[in-house]
Amino acid sequence: MNDEALLRYSRQIMLEQIDIDGQERLLAGHALVIGAGGLGSPVSLYLAAAGLGRLTLADDDAVELSNLQRQIAHGMADLGRHKAESAREAALAVNPDCDVRAVTERLEDDVLAAAVAKADVVLDCTDRFESRYAINAACREAWVPLVSGAAIRFSGQLAVFDPRNPESPCYACLYPPGEGGDEELRCAENGVVAPLVGLIGCFQALEALKLVSGAGRLHQGLSTFDGLTGQWRHFRVPRDPACPVCGG
């Protein structure tokens, strides 16, 4: 790191859990962020600010006026633009030294698998079960940790799935395929309070930062947040031996 980088990241470097070595790992790290909306906005901005060396932002959607209530990486001038491009520009405005790449196509099948395999950590910031199951399967196949977040109405949740840990469950252990897929809740149909996505997205960014830098201990189980009461709850999530993705 040069003197400018040492000054930029000095408040993290002075933390003994990160120090120079951890910051160097961050600068060499690569995060794949799938979804550049409500969750993906704070994720991309904070990871860029913290010095994650490379970010790949994937989203095939375009910015709409109704997004601006909560998707803070986008503004009025971005209406109609690809969210991935808009979020890339916002992240570079925070930290021009970060290598930020935008993917404006939906990641599926072999393309998804290839993108996941190149990352050190994947952050699922999508809002569809179909996408979450596909991302989970790709992460299990490539042995890449997955940080999963969700937010709807006044409720949020976060879980970290690490296939390198033999005791870690996967997303399909938590939500078995075929159980509730027809009842999924999405912001477009059910609404979401604006700061909630920021809270959960920041939680995702923190776990990714810890994972890449080596600081602390990764989040275990499932955490849920009730925005109406301000209460967090934590649940143990055992690995399901009958899971169609990671069982056996």
Query: Could you list the active site residues?
Result: 187
Alpha-carbon dihedral sign for residues 220, 106, 32, 75:
negative
Cα separations in angstroms, 19 against 12, 215, 218: 7, 9, 18
CA-to-CA distance for 31 and 15, rounded, in angstroms? 22
Distance, CA of 215 to CA of 210 (rounded, Å): 5
- Residue 57 near residue 33 (C-beta atoms within 8 A): yes
Around 112, how many Cα atoms within 13 Å sit in the side-chain half-sphere? 21
Average pLDDT of span 33-61: 98
DSSP 65: G
Average pLDDT over residues 139-146: 97
pLDDT score for 185: 58
181: confidence class by pLDDT, cuts 50, 70, 90? very low
**Segment among 68-82, 87-101, 178-192 with least mean pLDDT:** 178-192
Local confidence band at 178 (pLDDT 50, 70, 90 cut-offs): confident
Would you identify the CATH topology of the domain 3-235? Answer: Rossmann fold (3.40.50)
Tokens 């996505």 belong to residue: 197
State the chain's mean pLDDT as an integer: 94
Alpha carbons 225 and 240: distance in angstroms, whole number: 24
Per-residue pLDDT at 78: 98
Q: Residue 177: its pLDDT value, please? A: 87
Tokens of 169: 């469950």
pLDDT beyond 80 at 203: yes
Q: What is the mean pLDDT of residues 198-212?
A: 98
Phi, psi of 85 (to 5 degrees): -70, -45
pLDDT tens track for 9-21:
999 999 999 999 9
pLDDT at 232 exceeding the cut of 70? yes
pLDDT given at position 187: 58
Nearest to 147 by CA among 166, 161, 128: 161
